[in-house]
Amino acid sequence: MASIFERIALVFKSKANKALDKYEDPRETLDYSYQKQLELLQNVRRGVADVATSRKRVELQANKMSSEVDRLQSAAQRALESNREDLAREALTRKAGLQEQLVDLQAQHAQLQAEEEKLVRASSRLQAKVDAFRTRKETIKATYSAAEAQTRINEAFTGISEEMNDIGLAIQRAEDKTLQLQARASAVDELLASGALDDPTGTVRDDITRELDALAADSSIESELAAMKAQLTGGPAARPELQAAPEAPGHGEGQA
């Protein structure tokens, strides 16, 4: 097991060597590197927070979308009860489209969650290594002259430098991914806000809702009328067919 992975390892080594070459007194490298480590640790923590924010946002969107799905399901149910198969079909079509987006959101959510967990672990790893580095740095500075310290500094520096490069790359990638997902999340937010989520033109769903509301109003008026008539004629049991009529298929037109 070698080739590709040795070559990738070389990338890390060369970066460490280049950084080492910059200093006259190798002990300076230690202090400078330690500063950099602290900065990186801050970046990692910010990265974790960013990913968590994105994850929560996607979570909220998924919840909203899921209740949209439920709403359309019951709209379809209502439409069918009112004998409007066309509207029911429309609502179910919308629902199917929405469910696709929901699956997509859920996949994004899983991705972000995995990313977040990885960064949290990376952050704790880096913290432990930064602490270990500080101890080593102080020992080296207290014990060795600049000339004597060289080897030990190289050891300490290349190890931590590899760690930093790796985490630096991980943070970079997490940021890239988060940005991509955020762009998509913004698009979904806009759709949710415009109420056109389930239809690009934003008109058809309004029709469904309006028609269903109209039907609902009709039927509630009908049932109120039925109830009043029943009271007048002496009890609801006397005229049961009036209340049952709107639900019976085939009689819808007659009622309206």
Partner 1 sequence: MIVRIMGQGQWVMAPEHLLELNELDRALEGAVEAGDEPAMLDALMKLIDGVQRLGTEVPEDVIVESDLVLPDTDVSLEEVRALLESTSEFYGLIPDADDELNESGEAADL
Could you say whether residue 5 binds partner 1 (CB under 8 A)? yes
Region near partner 1 per CB under 8 A, out of 124-132, 142-150, 205-213, 217-225: 124-132
Instruction: Return all residues near 27 (Cβ < 8 A) that are at least 6 apart.
Output: 140, 141, 146, 149, 153
* C-beta of 102 vs 156, nearer to partner 1: 156
Of 122, 197, 212, 226, the residue at the interface with partner 1 (CB under 8 A) is 122
What is the 3-state composition of the chain as percent helix, strand, coil, each rounded to the nearest 5? 90, 0, 10
Q: How far apart are CA 71 and CA 14, in angstroms?
A: 58
237 near partner 1, judged by CB under 8 A? no
Tokens in use for 6? Answer: 């040795």
Site membership for partner 1, residue 103 (CB under 8 A): no
Interacting span for partner 1 (CB under 8 A) from 46-54, 120-128, 210-218, 220-228: 120-128
Using CB under 8 A, which of 51, 58, 156, 208 touches partner 1?
156
Q: Which of residues 161-190 bind partner 1 (CB under 8 A)?
A: 162-163, 166-167, 169-170, 173
Q: At its nearest, how many Å lie between partner 1 and the CB of residue 177? A: 8
Instruction: Compute the least distance from the CB of residue 104 to partner 1, in Å.
Output: 17
Q: Which residue has the tokens 């991705």?
A: 111
- Any idea what the Cα angle at residue 83 is, between residues 82 and 85, rounded to 5°? 120
- Looking at residues 19 to 78 of the shown chain, list those that interact with partner 1 (rule: CB under 8 A): none
Residue number, 177 or 239, with CB nearest to partner 1: 177
Residue 246 CB neighbour total at 10 angstroms: 20
Distance from C-alpha of 53 to C-alpha of 47, rounded to nearest angstrom = 10
DSSP state of 46: H
Contact 110, 56 (CB under 8 A): no
- Helix, strand, or coil (residue 23): coil
The smaller minimum CB distance to partner 1, of residues 94 and 137, is found at 137
Q: To the nearest whole angstrom, how small is the minimum distance from the Cβ of residue 48 to partner 1?
A: 13
Q: Is residue 141 a contact residue for partner 1 (CB under 8 A)?
A: no
Among 7, 21, 183, 203, binds partner 1 (CB under 8 A): 7
The full length of the chain comes to 256
Asked whether position 160 contacts partner 1 by CB under 8 A, the answer is yes
Tokens of residue 199, six digits: 């239809």
Q: Is 81 in the site for partner 1 (CB under 8 A)?
A: no
CB 202 within 8 A of CB 196: yes
Q: What is the C-alpha separation between 155 and 84, in angstroms, rounded?
A: 77
* Sole binder of partner 1 in the list 132, 217, 238, 244 (CB under 8 A): 132
Say if CB 185 and CB 111 are below 8 A apart. no
Determine, following the binding rule CB under 8 A, whether residue 134 of this chain makes contact with partner 1. no
Q: Using CB under 8 A, list all residues that contact partner 1.
A: 1-14, 118, 121-122, 124-125, 128-129, 131-133, 136, 155-156, 158-160, 162-163, 166-167, 169-170, 173
